[in-house]
Amino acid sequence: MSDKKKVIVFTTGGTIAMKFDPKVNGLVPAVSGADLAAAVPGLDKLADVEVREFSNHASCAMTPQKMFQLSQMIEEALKEEGVAGAVVTHGTDTVEETAYMLDILHKSEKPIVLTAAMRGAGDTSPDGPANIYCAVKTAASEEAKGKGVMVLLNEIIHAAGQVRKTHSANPDTFASPWWGPIGYCDVDRVVFRRAPLDRRTYSPKELTARVDIVTGQTGIGRDYIDFAVAQGCKGIVLEGFGRGNLPAIVEPAIKDATDKGVVVVITTRTPGGRPYQVYAYPGSVTDSRNNGAIHGGEFSSAKTRLKLMVLLSERPELAKKENREELERLLDV
């Protein structure tokens, strides 16, 4: 009997599974999950790898519902006998969102490692095979237990809650601004230098709450907020400048939205730091809070949106004004 650990690889598509098609003059989905794994030299020496294909599309086609379905599949797979961990191959454009959704739904100590590629499978120097190799090695390691969901590219391991894509084309695109990576995959072993802090997980039966993002801009009016409310949003993530401040003209729209029971969460468009009520002028976070908004934490607007969807789906009562202080605390960790 093999003493190798079992790792299940879920494939979802992305550049890692694309090749150049001269007919359309661009990269298109072209590589199956089985072929992806077969293209990685030495993978069979790391673990007993089983490939399960979830989808094969660009990651811009990923949705919160698909992320939720993927999470359910992975959690069931991790309960199977002998399974040490899971790997997800994904597109780079939204991998940080899928990773975070999986992380806040993931209760097992077994690791989940997402990986991707910035170059297609038919490129002169594709980065996919090496990334898959390191991801499987990490998922099979004892050191990765209890670290939650991670994103690994170029041998560097990031926590799901902190990782961001920082460059549109450079392979060295992923970073955890103001935090740094949690570890790396070396030749002989997987090394961790810290563990993600304050991981909290949730268990909604389904995703029912629609949440939209409105990005603060100079000269923005109230139209975007009004439109989101009219579309039936349960929550709006309102991305402000700096500490979360906004043009004063949006404040009446914030009050109207919160009076109708819509949760408005203030975030910042900066890549680091928290929004907070430091200022008290019209349009400041203090003003927004007086109009019923709450502030988010250090997470990006995209991740705050996903967490708010999960929280309002699991506990709809958090939208009530008397519970919004608790909701604010949950979003701030």
Cβ atoms of 99 and 46 closer than 8 Å: no
Which one of 92, 138, 258, 267 is the catalytic residue? 92
Residue type, 227: F
Ligand-binding annotation for 168, yes or no, is no
| Tokens describing residue 121 | 């499978």
Residue with tokens 């094969």: 56
**What are the backbone dihedrals phi and psi of residue 236, each rounded to the nearest 5 degrees, phi first?**
-130, 125
Which one of 15, 138, 258, 304 is the catalytic residue? 15
Ligand-binding annotation for 172, yes or no, is no
The span from the CA of 119 to the CA of 229, in Å, is 40
Residue 12 designated active-site: no
User: What distances in angstroms separate CA 103 from CA 9, 156, 199, one per listed residue?
Assistant: 17, 18, 8
Cβ atoms of 331 and 220 closer than 8 Å: no
Sequence length of the chain is 333
| Tokens describing residue 183 | 């570890």
Strands, E assignment, the chain: 6-11, 18-21, 26-29, 48-53, 83-89, 112-115, 149-153, 156-159, 164-165, 174-175, 183-185, 190-192, 211-215, 235-240, 263-268, 294-295
Ligand-binding annotation for 93, yes or no, is yes
Alpha helices in the chain (DSSP H): 33-38, 43-46, 64-78, 95-105, 128-139, 223-230, 251-259, 285-290, 301-314, 324-331
Residue ranges for the binding site? Answer: 59, 92-93
**Residues of the binding site for substrate:** 59, 92-93
- Which residues are marked as active site? 15, 92
